[in-house]
Structure 1
Amino acid sequence: MGKRGEVKILSNETFTVQLYLDYFNERLRVDDYRGNIKKVLEAIEPILIENQFSKCIFHSRAEHWKLLLSYGFQLEAIFSGYFNGSDNYAMTLYKDQERRKSDVWVKEDEILESVMKKGKNQELKRTPEDYVFRRAVEKDAGKLATLYRTVFSIYPTPMDEEEYVLKMLRTTSIFYIVEYNNEIVSAASADINKSFHHAELTDCATLPTYRKYGLMKKILVKLEEELRREHIFCTFSIARALSFGMNAAFYQLGYTYTGRMTNNCYIYDNLEDMNVWVKNLAT
């Protein structure tokens, strides 16, 4: 498989912008910028065309999202507190009609409504004593890759590769795992952005046989505790809109739904809509 993505920085006398060219998910993401917004948009247009990206995601500060509306972007979600306490308005532009269209939007609305009707049950299921919860270490990289390879046939990042997982463990991510009989049966991570002081709760995976104990909710609570110790209080997650269980877990843990990203990334064998959930760990 070729390169899944790369960071690119463009800079001149009128602007500087940090991009992520996401070849795997056929999209361009504007992660940070300063200067003339119009010039930024002129600079990224040829990149969209050259790479045949069908979606552009622009992480906009509060003072710029209305300007982006005038250039054809639309607001899909708000990541509260994303930029060192200031909100990120996730603006999107589509270059392909099929990428813009979702055939399951109403079904996803119904799932979200069901999640909220269920209520915020904060109780955690009892886990058998022989299940071990702990923070992952570097030697767990191989078993973590096996877990993700087993659970997901396709995933937006190469979590099925031991070297990639090891890199994440050594740099930006905290992983929490559950072991049973010396096997990792459930895991999730907090990917920390040290520049903007936020973290994404992501890479949530549990082997099907072990999904009856509510392991993921407990892992998420453990990750929140780790983030507070790191003084990271802005946290968010992007959950499959078709997954009742994951959306229910975040809602019950006090996260707020703030939007849905259409055909955002490949999971399993399709592009999927993703719900955005945010939480302030300081409150």
Structure 2
Amino acid sequence: MEKIIEINDSVIQISDLNDRIYIMKLGKDAGELINHVDKICTEKKLSKVFAKVSGNQKELFEKNGYICEGKLKNYFLDDDAYFMSKFFEKSRKISKFSKEAEAVLNYVKTVGVNPHTKIDEKFHLKIANETDAEKLSKHYSKVFKTYPFPIDDPNYILKTMQTNVKYFIIEDNGKIVAASSCEMDIKNKCVEMTDFAVLEEYQKLGLSKYLLYIMEKIMKDNGYRVFYTIARSMSYGMNITFKKMGYMYSGTAVNNTNICGNFEDMNFWYKLSE
């Protein structure tokens, strides 16, 4: 079951697939929500809670058993954001792929910033509209065996398009070969660069980097001031892409996401708009 629900002025995702609760939006009564989430996790036997909170809420979460796994500088207008996690099973705390992820980060450290990007003229990039939802969902289902959100469902894509998400697609002769999205926090003017998916036969052509370049440009033109991503820790390509575009690494969430059939660690990267 994948369910997004409102609790007073907070929003959480309850996910059997990810075996976790994700606090997507934290309301005014954080203490009450923490207790409510603990109760749900115990009842449903979920093994992790993941939340993005402000600095003045960080101590409250730490007192309730949460640890900080990452940080986004200047996320809130007057504060940083912290990714806080609470584990309900010891095994969920232990990374299965720490050596592989460490090798990726060690390599990425050697990569210089190089924002220059271009793609072959045969490709066509556009912002997706509602008529693209069906084929966009099919594209995502081709790339990902599992994914933390139901982006293989055209109704989910339509719903998010109508709220706070812009989807970007690159086509080759009318076929979607790469896609991504901007998930916008309209209040704080911050945006998550996410949902990158390139067909295997079109990888290593710079399509993700070009998507990111265009996404940044459009978001900056719309007044967004902080860009960030939560990238698969074992993906050389995505971590290199964000490093080349000037993003800063700021932590890793252990066993955070069920993606492509496995629980994976996820790296945080952020960049402040110039």
Q: TM-score range by the shorter chain?
A: over 0.9
- Other structure's SS at 2:147 match: coil
Q: Is the 8 A contact 1:174 1:223 kept in 2?
A: no
Matched with 2:46 is 53
- What is the deviation of 1:118? 2.2
Report whether the alignment pairs 1:107 with 2:105: no
Change (3 A) 1:95 1:36: closer
Report whether the alignment pairs 1:98 with 2:91: yes
> Alpha-carbon deviations, 1:223-262, whole Å to 9, x = none?
1111112211112100000000000000110111111011
Q: 1:257 aligns with which of 244, 249, 271?
A: 249
Change (3 A) 1:85 1:36: closer
Matched with 1:267 is 259
* Distance in 1 (alpha carbons) for counterparts of 2:269 and 2:122: 32
Report whether the alignment pairs 1:142 with 2:134: yes
Q: Is the 8 A contact 2:2 2:13 kept in 1?
A: no
Q: 1:8 aligns with which of 2, 6, 9?
A: 6
Matched with 1:179 is 171
Matched with 1:83 is 76
Once the two structures are superposed, the pairs formed by residues 152-231 of structure 1 within 5 Å of their partners are: 152-231=144-223
Q: 2:230 aligns with which of 235, 238, 242?
A: 238
Provide the identity percentage.
Answer: 29
**Alignment size in residue pairs:** 273
Q: Is the 8 A contact 2:181 2:196 kept in 1?
A: yes
Q: Is the 8 A contact 1:176 1:222 kept in 2?
A: no
Change (3 A) 1:167 1:244: same
* Distance in 2 (alpha carbons) for counterparts of 1:167 and 1:42: 30
> Alpha-carbon deviations, 1:186-208, whole Å to 9, x = none?
11000112233221111100111
* Distance in 2 (alpha carbons) for counterparts of 1:100 and 1:244: 23
* Distance in 2 (alpha carbons) for counterparts of 1:40 and 1:195: 21
Q: Is the 8 A contact 2:4 2:11 kept in 1?
A: no
Q: What's the Cα RMSD here? A: 1.8
Change (3 A) 1:40 1:166: closer
Matched with 2:20 is 27
Change (3 A) 1:123 1:263: same
* Distance in 2 (alpha carbons) for counterparts of 1:55 and 1:72: 11
- What is the deviation of 1:35? 4.2
Q: 1:123 aligns with which of 116, 121, 128?
A: 116
Matched with 2:56 is 63
Amino acid at match of 1:137: N
* Distance in 2 (alpha carbons) for counterparts of 1:161 and 1:127: 29
TM score, norm. by length of structure 2 = 0.93
Q: Is the 8 A contact 1:84 1:198 kept in 2?
A: no
Q: Which moved more, 1:134-143 or 1:177-186?
A: 134-143
* Distance in 2 (alpha carbons) for counterparts of 1:279 and 1:132: 27
Change (3 A) 1:151 1:128: same
Amino acid at match of 1:212: K
* Distance in 2 (alpha carbons) for counterparts of 1:158 and 1:40: 25
Amino acid at match of 1:53: L
Contiguous gaps of at least 5 residues in structure 1: 11-15
- Other structure's SS at 2:188 match: coil
Moved over 6 A (4+): none
